[in-house]
Amino acid sequence: MPSVPQLLASGAGWRVHDAVCTGSPHDRPFEEQHESVCIAAVTSGTFRYRSTQGSATLAPGAVLLGNEQHCYECSHEHSAGDRCLSFHFEPEFFEQIITAVPGARRISFDVPNLPPLPALIPIVAAAQAARDNGDLASFEELAICLAGTVSAALTGVKRPARLPSPRDELRVAAALRRIEQDSQQPLLLTDLARDASTSPYHFLRLFRQIVGVTPHQYLMRTRLREAAVRLHRSSEGVLSIALETGFNDVSTFNGHFRRIMGMSPSAYRRLKSPGEPPSRNA
């Protein structure tokens, strides 16, 4: 599958690539191998990831997890192209990081991915903004923070007991593409379910099973990630960003942003170290 990984930054025990894939449903997937521990943050596009830990449909905001020397395949059964920020860690360096994470016990992953969790959104947004701004010096902190946050989030996470059918994956993949393209629009559960030719209850259950969060949660987190990127990347006013990312007013935007990101939009913009967000209650 066509892929163009560009090295953005590296250091002792870690490196990060901007990986752009132009694969399409017509391309046959082929087996690859993770050369090191891999955590890849999806920033655009939707694709299917299969590894020794299982399989998952990945979309913007999610993170792919790969173990050193383990084989995997990526495919685009339902869409074309994707882009990821791919962080790679030498096992010894990764182990040094997780020894400071409460509850973390292993340097290998048992699941293939994590959904766009609140703890991950600020880091993924900051990494995306750093890539777009050419702020390569911040990637060392971002790499360490991402590894630690992922390890903490994995505590107690188990593989899903039931795998979705190809038809259900197709339905949810189409919804993910629509949310990515029209996140600023008021997308209702009933509309997404109608497009998927299923009932709202059934679609809600399918979406949560495949993506790991509900459609509304995914929509809100997609909007907030885009807003966070724009706060770091530009000098646009908070009101303008709020309205253009789909929020009706700045008060609603501030409330959602503070609950997920742990601070106000203005405080997030002033952060000198975006890879180290403060603790939050949500």
Residue 220 lies in a domain: no
SS3 224: helix
CATH number of the domain enclosing 8? 2.60.120.10
Residue with tokens 């017509």: 26
Summarised one tens digit per residue, pLDDT across range 139-181 is 999 999 999 999 999 887 766 667 788 899 999 999 999 999 9
Summarised one tens digit per residue, pLDDT across range 188-224 is 999 999 999 999 999 999 999 999 999 999 999 999 9
Summarised one tens digit per residue, pLDDT across range 230-241 is 998 888 999 999
- For residues 230 and 268, the answer to whether their CB atoms sit within 8 Å is no
- Domain span at 97: 3-153
- Give the H/E segment covering residue 172: helix 166-181
- For residues 215 and 189, the answer to whether their CB atoms sit within 8 Å is yes
Residue 231 lies in a domain: no
Residue 118 lies in a domain: yes
Instruction: State how many domains the chain has.
Output: 1
SS3 15: strand
Tell me the C-alpha to C-alpha distance, in Å, between residue 79 and each of 27, 148, 164, 177, 258: 11, 32, 18, 8, 33
Sign of the Cα torsion 229, 42, 122, 9 reads: negative
pTM of the model: 0.88
Residue 162 lies in a domain: no
Residue 55 lies in a domain: yes
Strands of 14-21's sheet in order across? 3-11, 14-21, 82-89, 37-45, 63-66, 113-114
What pLDDT, on a 0 to 100 scale, did the predictor assign at position 105?
A: 66
